[in-house]
Amino acid sequence: MHGWSGKLLIIDLTNEKFSESGIHKDYLPTYLGGRGLAVRLLWDLIEPGTDPISPNNSLILATGPLTGYPLPSSGKLVIAAKSPLTNGYGDGNIGTKASVEIRKAGYDAIVIKGAARRPVVLYIERGKVDFRSADDLWGLGTHETEDKLIREFGKDVGTLLIGPAGEKLVKYATVLSEYGRSAGRPGMGAVMGVKKVKAVVVRGDELPEPADRGELIKLGSEALKKVKESKNYDFWIRQGTMATIIWSNTNSVLPTYNFREGVFEHADKISGDVMEKMKISQKGCPNCNMPCGMMVEARTDMGVTKAELDYENVAMLGSNIGLDDLDKVSYLNNLADDLGLDTISLGSNIAFAMEAAEKKLIDEKIEWGDFRAAVDLVRKIIEREGVGALLAEGVKYASEKLGDDAARFAIHVKGLEVSAYDCHTAPGMALAYGTSPIGAHHKDAWLISVEIQMGREGRLSYNPEKAEKLVWMQNIRGGMFESLTTCRLPWVEVGLDLEYYPKLLKAATGVAFTWDDIYTIAHRIYTLIRAFWVREYLAAGLDWSRELDIPPRRWFEESLTKGPFAGAKLEIDKYHTLLDKYYELRGWDHRGIPRRSTLEKLGLDFVIPSLEKVTELSP
């Protein structure tokens, strides 16, 4: 076998044991790795209806057949589990040395089962796992924890860790690494927390041998050169994802005041240009020559802080909560990193609280743009104090508890808070959020960029071609990139030719995957993820229906009041037409449940008995 090691490391925390096992021979060619491998393992390993906040959940760290090789931005890792926030499939993608070290230690994936009795650091090398006490680290922020891990293990190891949010099981706690890389929006940090794993530290020695080393190096260095020669390269290096703030505002999609509006009157104060003036350094993931980690130094009356800024963080903790000062936004961003909280869900929960306070549904006084109140709210979320106890569970839960009309301004899909694109004027992007396999996230499809290029009329239309484009985009981004596992930004941001990827895959694995093969694998992954959601929902006694694929009510019920699209909102009947088209393309029925024929066609026959136990399948 080339390109993959073909091996899993299985760690049993409850019994402090570990074992290695071969990966089923069919899994790698049919799921590739990363997300594909993760969902297949979760399907196999988790009992239907498992409580995600229990030792019975499994945490999967999955690399792919391109991870770590010398080619563009190949230092990515998928972290997956059943999500505590949504009760469905959850994952995130992190760029960190840990991804490369896992491969170098000889594993395609690591499965972490059970729960430790006391906090542990898992120290992993090829064929060896140490269960070391983390008593001295429990309770510390991620920055201090990382400092201590580096002192103990040196700088050449890979680290994955949680902060107090993960320890206290906040439902949108993430896994952090390298002072600001964060992954696993749907609560992967809480899964690590319930297992009492404070950190995973990995040291490897050698990557799996590729099928054609010469070809891989030739193609990889050619692609790295193309990235640097791209016309967008210089601007990307200056601003990274932060350039999107002004783009989103100009195009009326910048989330503002809890997604009421798409334009923020102070967008210029939180823009990429302002960030450039605060920038002190820049960092990137392994093997990346277009590093986008913009490190800034921020000054507030709370002191001087460093933070790594990205578009999503700044939009959600800036315009979405009415905060117009990039220093203060950076402070909140750094606080989220240190505590191990997802910035997107955090920004949504703060905005939800601000709106609930405005509507007098909660006692706390927290006004739009109130920085001090926002900082205090973060503390309350971690301590589960007052309204923080509701918000630690996410906006869906908080809105259900508050009742009244709170559900109208809880901005989520399937429990995962919407990431930073307002969709009052973007039906295709709304569909992307509605059908994203982890709840509302842009990772799988950035359809907004395509819609905006269509001009006003095209953008507002419900043309079925949007559903077709969405399926294609999901298959490339959420199927191929999440499984390879490499960063998609060389393609998305600087236009690296997609044709490199099947060629690199062949050089790595020796298998000539055609585009048809890649689309089929992606389609298989999406369908298995959907089957997982249905199985888990119904096993937990929850209903499953197409209503779960509908984005927030606000976009259908309340028009924008400002900007070039004032008066615009989505239309529910037309949205359903798009959704029907999407289901047809995926081979799912009117409820969004995969048809028996689709499961058979994709080689997912093993799913049929489990689904038949809980629901009737359409032919």
- Residues near ligand SF4, by CB under 6 A: 73, 95, 284-285, 288, 290-293, 487, 489
Task: Report which of 414, 393, 390 is spatially closest to residue 402, judged by C-alpha positions.
Answer: 390
* Residue 454 exposed, middle or buried by CB count within 10 Å (0-12, 13-18, 19+): middle
Cβ atoms of residues 411 and 258 within 8 Å: yes
Q: Which of 489, 494, 521, 568 binds ligand PTT (CB under 6 A)?
A: 489
Task: Tell me: does residue 443 bind ligand PTT (CB under 6 A).
Answer: yes
Only one residue has tokens 């996230």, namely 441
Distance CA 129, CA 126 (A): 8
Distance CA 421, CA 202 (A): 36
**Within a 10 A sphere around the Cβ of 574, how many other Cβ atoms?**
12
Least spacing, CB of residue 335 vs ligand PTT, in Å: 9
Q: Phi/psi of residue 72, each to 5°? A: -55, 125
CB within 8 Å of 317: residues ≥ 6 apart = 323, 329, 332, 333, 336, 343, 346, 347, 350, 374
Least spacing, CB of residue 288 vs ligand SF4, in Å: 3
**Within a 10 A sphere around the Cβ of 7, how many other Cβ atoms?**
18
Least spacing, CB of residue 236 vs ligand SF4, in Å: 8
Q: If contact means CB under 5 to 8 A according to the sort of partner, which of ligand SF4, ligand PTT, none does residue 92 touch?
A: ligand PTT
Q: Closest residue (Cβ) to ligand PTT?
A: 92
Cβ atoms of residues 59 and 166 within 8 Å: no
- Residues 232-261 binding ligand PTT (CB under 6 A) are 241
Q: If contact means CB under 5 to 8 A according to the sort of partner, which of ligand SF4, ligand PTT, none does residue 344 touch?
A: ligand PTT
Instruction: Compute the half-sphere exposure of residue 367: CA atoms within 13 Å on the CB side of its CA.
Output: 1
Q: If contact means CB under 5 to 8 A according to the sort of partner, which of ligand SF4, ligand PTT, none does residue 290 touch?
A: ligand SF4
Q: If contact means CB under 5 to 8 A according to the sort of partner, which of ligand PTT, ligand SF4, none does residue 288 touch?
A: ligand SF4
Q: Which two tokens stand for residue 390?
A: 């509701």
Q: Which is nearer to ligand PTT, 475 or 598 (CB)?
A: 475
Task: Tell me: does residue 166 bind ligand PTT (CB under 6 A).
Answer: no
Cβ atoms of residues 347 and 317 within 8 Å: yes
Q: Which is nearer to ligand SF4, 337 or 393 (CB)?
A: 337
Q: What is the largest CA-CA distance in the chain?
A: 66
Q: Which is nearer to ligand PTT, 285 or 432 (CB)?
A: 285
Q: How many residues bind ligand PTT (CB under 6 A)?
A: 31
Q: Which is nearer to ligand PTT, 257 or 311 (CB)?
A: 311
Q: If contact means CB under 5 to 8 A according to the sort of partner, which of ligand SF4, ligand PTT, none does residue 337 touch?
A: ligand PTT
Q: Phi/psi of residue 60, each to 5°? A: -115, 130
- The pattern of x and - marking residues 318 through 347 that bind ligand PTT according to CB under 6 A reads ------------------xx---xxxx---
Task: Tell me: does residue 180 bind ligand PTT (CB under 6 A).
Answer: yes
Q: If contact means CB under 5 to 8 A according to the sort of partner, which of ligand PTT, ligand SF4, none does residue 509 touch?
A: none
Q: Phi/psi of residue 21, each to 5°? A: -145, 150
Only one residue has tokens 């696993």, namely 184
Q: Which is nearer to ligand SF4, 240 or 434 (CB)?
A: 240
Task: Tell me: does residue 392 bind ligand PTT (CB under 6 A).
Answer: no
Least spacing, CB of residue 91 vs ligand PTT, in Å: 7
Q: Which is nearer to ligand SF4, 290 or 505 (CB)?
A: 290
Instruction: Compute the half-sphere exposure of residue 90: CA atoms within 13 Å on the CB side of its CA.
Output: 32
CB within 8 Å of 591: residues ≥ 6 apart = 544, 545, 546
Q: Which is nearer to ligand SF4, 73 or 83 (CB)?
A: 73
Q: Which is nearer to ligand PTT, 4 or 481 (CB)?
A: 481
Task: Tell me: does residue 481 bind ligand PTT (CB under 6 A).
Answer: yes
Distance CA 141, CA 616 (A): 48
| Interface residue list for ligand PTT (CB under 6 A) | 76, 92-95, 174, 180-185, 241, 285, 308, 310-313, 336-337, 341-344, 443, 481-482, 487-489
